[in-house]
Amino acid sequence: MKTIDDYNFEDKKALIRVDFNVPLDADFNVTDTSRIEAAKPSILKVLEDGGSAVLMSHLGRPKGKVNPDMSLSHICEKVSEIIGVQVKFAKDCIGEIADTAVSELQSGEVLLLENLRFYGEEEKGDESFAEALSKHGDIYVNDAFGTAHRAHASTTIVANYFSGNKCFGYLLAKEIKAIEKVMRTGEKPITAILGGAKVSSKITIIENILDKVDNLIIGGGMTYTFVKAQGGKVGDSICEDDKMELALNILKQASEKGVKIHLPVDVLAADAFDNNANTQFMDVNEIPDGWQGLDAGPQTLENFKQVILDSKTILWNGPVGVFEMENFAKGTIAVGNAIDEATQNGAFSLVGGGDSVAAVKQFGFEDKVSYVSTGGGAMLESLEGRTLPGIAAILG
């Protein structure tokens, strides 16, 4: 696996695919800079070697049309501030404007190209568009894990034009190693915590990781499909009736593979999907009509904690309750605290997937786990066992 450390960029232009698809407020201020900060080490490595960096990214979904609201010019100053170098901006990503800006770039300088997705060819993986992008650099660096699962021109096709001169940036290399630690090289016992609303959205992940983990903790809305499938009463809790057979099959597969499945035994139920609803702790199998489980109960959290503390490798994907509502966030916070404690005791912990990452950031666990993945969809596809096109393109 070639990384950015395998190259000296002196007098070279690095064409770096970054993921600067960052949230902006109404005044175009960046409200979360973590993706820019994550790309900083790779950019600085190029500059410290005596090279220059040409950055390319998308922002939003302009669907192949120029949309001033989604121009990367809005973030140029913030990128400059974070990197510590005044970043130049090109008002296009290919063509004369971009070519001229790239040709004038000196060692130690950084250029940010305009939004790749202003061209429909980017998402189509167009060869000629990729070739035009390839002319902007001597070495191609992919450091955008968040888009590595897309076979787009800038993430996959462009690599074809850099035979022997392509590598992973620090961020993407870290993502690959973190997932490998869980899926291939992790110290046992390995525990996966899967939450979220639906079994259907996690089924491929569950089937893929059953061969790799020792414990599978199931929380969140998925719980009730498993409980009802085993004859429990779930009241008005979210439940995929058409996936109950699938849930039973997962339990059977886990048993055959020697994987312990840990389901909630008690829940915090409410009489409405509302932060101010009436609440009551009850047995997960005995939720009456008119009530729905919205968070894990105290005995469940104690059980989960013991499993987590006994683990050496931990994957967390999905909250165990409706953490967006304060009164139903305690379970997710408790799981975060247990993972924090296990990590302090030497366990490796990986958090990935949109909602769990959101929860980790909201409750201040970012620096208390070993690694927080920057890519939602890419992370999930990796856990499903798929080879991501953006990664295959560098390895090929």
Query: Strand 279-283 vs strand 266-270: parallel, antiparallel, or unpaired?
Result: antiparallel
Local structure of residue 184 (DSSP, 8 states): I
Contact at 8 Å (CB) between 262 and 222? no
Is residue 353 marked as binding?
yes
Catalytic entry in 64, 354, 385, 386: 354
| Three-class DSSP category at 64 | coil
Confirm whether 88 is a catalytic residue. no
Catalytic entry in 361, 377, 385, 386: 377
The amino acid at 17: R
Catalytic entry in 35, 166, 181, 243: 35
Catalytic entry in 91, 124, 177, 198: 198
Is residue 61 marked as binding?
yes
Is residue 233 marked as binding?
no
**Residue closest to 265 by CA, chosen among 277, 283, 252:** 283
Contact at 8 Å (CB) between 162 and 134? yes
Local structure of residue 188 (DSSP, 8 states): S
Beta bridge partners of 134: none
Contact at 8 Å (CB) between 134 and 161? yes
* Phi, psi (deg, nearest 5) at residue 357: -65, -40
Is residue 293 marked as binding?
yes
Confirm whether 386 is a catalytic residue. no
Q: Rg of the chain over CA atoms, in angstroms? A: 23
Is residue 150 marked as binding?
yes
Confirm whether 354 is a catalytic residue. yes
Is residue 228 marked as binding?
no
Q: H or E element: which one contains 383?
A: helix 376-383
Is residue 324 marked as binding?
yes
Is residue 21 marked as binding?
yes
Confirm whether 231 is a catalytic residue. no
**Residue closest to 357 by CA, chosen among 343, 341, 369:** 369
Contacts of 174 (CB under 8 A, 6+ apart): 371
Is residue 202 marked as binding?
yes
Distance of CA 315 to the CA centre of its chain: 12
Instruction: List residues forming the annotated binding site.
Output: 19-21, 35, 58-61, 117, 150, 202, 293, 324, 353-356
**Residues with a known catalytic role:** 35, 198, 354, 377
Instruction: List residues forming the annotated binding site for substrate.
Output: 19-21, 35, 58-61, 117, 150
Instruction: List residues forming the annotated binding site for (2R)-3-phosphoglycerate.
Output: 35, 117, 150
Instruction: List residues forming the annotated binding site for ATP.
Output: 202, 293, 324, 353-356
